[in-house]
Amino acid sequence: MNPSSAIIFLGTSDFAVPSLQRLVADGLPVSLVITRPDRPARRGQRLSGSPILCCAESLGLPVWQPENLQDAESVHRIQEMKPSLLVLVAYGMRVPGDVLQAGALGALNLHPSLLPKYRGAAPMQWALIHAEKMTGVTTMYMDEGLDTGDIVYQENAALVPGETYGEVSSRLSVQGAALLSRTVQDVLNGTAPRKVQDNALATKAPLLKPEQERLRWDQEATRVAGWICGLSPRPGAYTLDRERRLKLLRARPLEDVPELVSVALPEQFVPGQVLGIHRPLGILVAAAKGAVLVEEVQPENKPKMNACSYANGYDIRLSHIFA
């Protein structure tokens, strides 16, 4: 490794924090951290720094918070630094080609899917929505395409029934951080492999739209549970209970609940119908095909709670219909 190497790290969200911490802990030469400008917090409208800003400050690293990287002044500033490598993790802002090419060895990215599958801004969410059994993390060289760069390394990660997006993100952020550190070290040492992606195998993982947050019960149970877990904890899939919004935060298809293996479904039911309240596990709700055990919910303006507690407090009985 060249002792004069310099790394610029670009990141914003919680997902990026373990990566920055791991690079520093492993002695890699992070010389600057770039993150988004402070934004108004949800309440009170006070300006709040990104998780990466807080992390960088705790590590004693210099931070730059440009509004964007597309103006000539920003590009020039990065080029003047003559970095060996740029490393991007969940930065969330467009990075132009002139910036990506500023690193002598290029720019690396950590992506939480097994590329070319799930290219886009929401790969973990869509993997859960589609009830995948396996996902993973990928390190790649960046180009100006959407997650189209050459792959360096990949690692698999199994998905567990009932695991939420928040839990998967936390787990993959740590696994990805270790893979990213290995990748950076091998790139700096000149030993990193490079594999072109097969575009014919690519699938898309776009940001979810607000209208997709309302849960449709007229799907197979695996897909219903996937939507619930894939949107949890934020923004949260919701259903209507007597015209009140009810967020659903955790669920499993009946077939993935060993404790209910002997439960038989009625011959006739409608999607969204309550088929059973199984204490302390949750509320069994019909899908178009099969049933889903809803385990955790959050009523409007209330804290999250066990689904059985909701059933007790809100008078949920057999044959009740969620819309």
Instruction: Name the H helices within 120-252.
Output: 123-129, 165-189, 221-230
Convert the pLDDT of each residue in 228-278 to its tens digit.
999 999 999 999 999 999 999 999 999 999 999 999 999 999 999 999 999
Q: Is residue 90 part of a domain?
A: yes
Number of domains, the chain:
2
Q: pLDDT at residue 1 above 80?
A: no
Q: Is residue 323 part of a domain?
A: no
Pair 256, 190 in one domain:
no
- How far is residue 238 CA from its own chain's centroid? 19
Token pair belonging to 51: 């998780």
Distance CA 171, CA 261 (A): 29
Convert the pLDDT of each residue in 118-164 to its tens digit.
999 999 999 999 999 999 999 999 999 999 999 999 999 999 999 99
What is the per-residue pLDDT for 43?
Answer: 60
What is the per-residue pLDDT for 5?
Answer: 82
Domain, as residue range, for 24: 7-201
Pair 197, 218 in one domain:
no
Q: Looking at residues 46-60, what average pLDDT do you find?
A: 93
Task: Give the list of residues 6+ apart from residue 292 with CB closer than 8 angstroms, or none.
Answer: 221, 224, 225, 228, 251, 252, 253, 254, 284, 285
For the chain, the average pLDDT equals 96
Pair 297, 185 in one domain:
no
Task: Please identify, among 172, 201, 230, the residue that sits at the C-terminal boundary of a domain.
Answer: 201
Task: Give the list of residues 6+ apart from residue 201 with CB closer than 8 angstroms, or none.
Answer: 116, 117
Token pair belonging to 77: 């500033």
Q: Looking at residues 291-305, what average pLDDT do you find?
A: 97
**Residue matched to tokens 């869509």:** 126
What is the per-residue pLDDT for 75?
Answer: 95
Task: Please tell me whether the overall predicted TM-score, pTM, comes out greater than 0.75 for this model.
Answer: yes
Confidence of residue 96 (pLDDT cuts 50, 70, 90): very high
Q: pLDDT at residue 313 above 60?
A: yes
Q: ∠ at Cα 195 (193, 196), nearest 5°?
A: 155
Q: pLDDT at residue 4 above 90?
A: no
Pair 164, 233 in one domain:
no
Beta bridge partners of residue 158, listed in sequence order: 134
Q: Looking at residues 212-223, what average pLDDT do you find?
A: 98
Distance CA 280, CA 308 (A): 6
Name the nearest CA neighbour of 136 among 166, 101, 171, 89: 171
Pair 163, 217 in one domain:
no
Residue at 30: amino acid letter: V
Token pair belonging to 187: 């790139």
Task: Give the list of residues 6+ apart from residue 72 with CB closer than 8 angstroms, or none.
Answer: none
Pair 113, 62 in one domain:
yes
Q: ∠ at Cα 186 (11, 171), nearest 5°?
A: 45
Q: Identify whether the C-beta of residue 76 lies closer than 8 Å to the C-beta of residue 55.
A: no
What is the per-residue pLDDT for 46?
Answer: 76
Confidence of residue 47 (pLDDT cuts 50, 70, 90): confident
Convert the pLDDT of each residue in 167-209 to its tens digit.
999 999 999 999 999 999 999 999 999 999 999 999 999 999 9
Helices (H) and strands (E) in the chain, counts: 8, 15
